[in-house]
Chains A and B, each alone.
Chain A
Amino acid sequence: MTTVSNKQDLALMAHLLRRAGFGATPAELDRAMNLGYDSMVDELLNPDHDDNIPFDKIRRWRKDYSDLRGPGGAPGGIWMYRLIMTDTPLREKMCLFWHRLFATGHTKLIQGRPVVRQIDMFRKHGMGSFDNILVELSKDPAMIMWLDNQDNHATNINENYGREILELFSMGVGNYTEDDIKETARAFTGWSIVNPIYNSLKMNNNVMRPFGYMSWQFQYNDDDHDHGEKTILGETGNWNGEDAVRIICKNDATARFLARHLYHFFVADEPPVPAWPMVEPRDPEAIDALVNAYFESGHDVKAMLETIFKSDFFKAESVRYARIKSPAEMVVGTMRLAGPVDPLSNEANQAIDACANMGQSLLRPPSVEGWQGGTDWINTGAYVERVNFAGKVLKNTNKSGIRDLINRIKARSTSSVMNSDEFVDNCLEVLGPLEVTEGTSRGLKDYASKYGNLSWSDDESSKEFDKAAGSILQLIVSGHEYQMA
Chain B
Amino acid sequence: MTTTNFELKYITNVGFSSDQGGRSFQKPGCFAIRKSDGRIFVGSRGPAAGPNVGLQMVSVNHDWFGKMSEIGRGEGQMMEPSGLALDQEENIYVSDESLHRVSVFDRDGEFLMCWGEQGTEPGQFEAPAGLLILDENLYVVDARNHRIQIFSTSGSFLSEWGCEGSKDGEFSYPWGITSDTNGDIYVADWGNDRIQKFTSKGDHIASYGKSGSGAGQFNRPADIAVATDGKMYVADWGNQRLQVLNKDGSFITSNKGEAVEHNPWLVEYFDAVQDEKKARETFVPYFEVDTDDPHEISARLEPYFWDPCNVLLDDNDRVYVLESVRHRFQVFQIN
Contacts and interface: CB of A to CB of B under 8 A. Distances in A.
B46 A216 contact: no
Given A66-B27, A66-B325, A195 B282 contact: yes
A212 B306 contact: yes
Interface residues of A, number: 34
A63 B15 contact: no
A194 B287 contact: yes
15 contacts: A56-B238, A61-B127, A63-B27, A67-B299, A67-B306, A195-B284, A200-B279, A201-B276, A207-B276, A210-B17, A210-B266, A211-B302, A211-B328, A212-B306, A217-B290
Contacts of B295: 59
Interface in A187-216: 194-195, 197-198, 200-202, 205, 207-216
Nearest to A349: B47
B48 A198 contact: no
Q: Which 10 A-B pairs have the closest CB atoms?
A: A215-B299, A201-B279, A198-B283, A198-B279, A67-B325, A197-B282, A212-B17, A211-B326, A215-B300, A63-B27
A197 B283 CA distance: 8
B17 A208 contact: yes
Interface of A: 56-57, 59-61, 63-64, 66-67, 69, 72, 113, 117, 194-195, 197-198, 200-202, 205, 207-219
B201 interface: no
Interface of B: 15-19, 27, 45-49, 80, 97, 127, 173, 175, 190-191, 220, 238, 259, 262, 265-266, 269-270, 275-276, 279-280, 282-284, 287, 289-290, 295-296, 299-300, 302, 306-307, 324-328
Nearest to B299: A215
Contact of B290 (A202, A212, A218): A218
A202 B270 CA distance: 12
A69 B326 CA distance: 12
Given A63-B48, A212-B17, A212-B325, 12 more contacts: A59-B295, A64-B47, A66-B325, A194-B300, A197-B279, A198-B276, A198-B282, A198-B283, A205-B276, A209-B18, A214-B300, A214-B302
A202 B283 CA distance: 12
A260 B262 CA distance: 53
A208 B19 contact: yes
A117 B282 contact: no
Contacts of A198: 276, 279-280, 282-283
Given A209-B16, A212-B327, A194 B47 contact: no
Contact of B16 (A63, A66, A72, A210): A210
B299 A64 contact: no
Nearest to B275: A201
Contacts of A60: 173, 175, 190, 220
B93 to A, nearest CB: 21
A195 B302 CA distance: 12
A216 B289 CA distance: 10
A64 B48 contact: yes
Contacts of B282: 195, 197-198
B240 to A, nearest CB: 11
B296 A211 contact: no
Nearest to A219: B287
B299 A214 contact: yes
A219 B300 CA distance: 13
A208 B18 contact: yes
A57 B191 CA distance: 9
B54 to A, nearest CB: 15
A225 B220 CA distance: 43
Contact of B300 (A69, A210, A216): A216
A56 B127 CA distance: 15
A67 B302 CA distance: 13
A210 B13 CA distance: 12
Contacts of A210: 16-17, 262, 265-266, 269-270
Contacts of A113: 296, 299
Contacts of A72: 48
Contacts of B328: 211
Nearest to A57: B173
Contact of B289 (A195, A208, A209, A217): A217
A210 B327 CA distance: 9
A375 to B, nearest CB: 36
Given A66-B324, A195-B284, A59 B307 contact: yes
Nearest to B45: A63
Nearest to A111: B299
A67 B17 CA distance: 13
Among A67, A207, A209, residue most surrounded by chain B Cβ atoms (within 10 Å): A209
Given A211-B326, A216-B300, A69 B48 contact: yes
Nearest to B300: A215
Contacts of B284: 194-195
A194 B46 CA distance: 31
Nearest to B219: A56
Contacts of B307: 59, 66
B192 to A, nearest CB: 12
A211 B289 contact: no
Contacts of A218: 290
A208 B307 CA distance: 17
